[in-house]
Amino acid sequence: MFVFLLFFSTQMSAQETIFEEKTTGFKTEYSYGFGMHTNGFHATYRYGKYLTGFTKRVFEIEIANIKHPREIKSIYPFEEDVRGYIFGKLNSFFVLRPSIGFHKEIFPKQSIKGVSITYVIQGGPTIGLAKPVYLNIIRNESNVSRVITKERYDSKKHTTSNIYSRSSFLNGFGETKIHPGLFGKIGLHFDYGDERELIKAAEIGLFMDAFFSEIPILAFSENRQFYPNFYVSIYFGSRNVQ
């Protein structure tokens, strides 16, 4: 029994050495990703620098939108082909997440038939951008039947009876407010690419945006400053030897 365990230990050590030798040729990698999370969608650029055959330092920039969980689409009921809007929505909210982290490969491809598994841990600041929502509002004038004006949503003045449709998304960018906070992510990265130089991967995990104040997304509802999310992403990219 002792001889068997010694042989098994020797073989595993040899395999790890082989894996290490096959992996250490790579120095850097980059990838692009996109996916969805509990409250919206995100897109990512990721750069990695190999520290060992199984570990790399990662720098990432991600942009995402965050929706309030109680958002419900409404439509002006008296006309067709009218753009819908979210009643009570004060701001469209986006986040920019620059982060740094470490990825460690825990199951190399050679050990599980062409799929490697890496655990992911990252963190950094999160920059929230709250852009005011503009709507097309119906105004009844004395000398004309109806006038439609573009106005920033005001929960005290605008109701479902005088909101006609959502206005252009470009309105309100000059009034965007910044909400700083902190960001953290943990996850598992599954690389299933057929070629070692190319990255084809899926990633699942959890992340948290924690802002220093509540984010005014929706009127008539409780707004939050902490946003935990489950996420799923797909990544494509390449690895470099130089």
> Residue 108 falls within a domain, yes or no?
yes
CB 27 within 8 A of CB 17: no
- Residue 25: the pLDDT is 76
- 45-75 residue pLDDT tens: 999 999 988 899 999 999 999 999 999 999 9
Q: Which domain holds residue 138?
A: 19-240
The mean of the pLDDT values for the chain is: 87
> Residue 1 falls within a domain, yes or no?
no
- Helix, strand or coil for residue 112? coil
Residue owning tokens 């995402």? 64
- 127-169 residue pLDDT tens: 999 999 999 999 876 666 778 899 999 999 999 889 999 999 9
- Residue 99: the pLDDT is 97
Residue 85 one-letter amino acid = Y
User: What CATH number should be reported for the domain holding residue 202?
Assistant: 2.40.160.20
The dihedral formed by the CA atoms of 185, 191, 195 and 198, expressed in degrees to the nearest 10:
-20
pTM confidence score: 0.83
> Residue 103 falls within a domain, yes or no?
yes
- Residue 3: the pLDDT is 35
Domain count, the chain: 1
> Residue 8 falls within a domain, yes or no?
no
> Residue 11 falls within a domain, yes or no?
no
> Residue 220 falls within a domain, yes or no?
yes
Q: Which of 65-69, 105-109, 217-221 has the lowest mean pLDDT?
A: 105-109
List, in order, residues 6 or more apart from 100 with CB less than 8 Å away: 57, 58, 59, 60, 122, 123, 124
> Residue 82 falls within a domain, yes or no?
yes
> Residue 10 falls within a domain, yes or no?
no
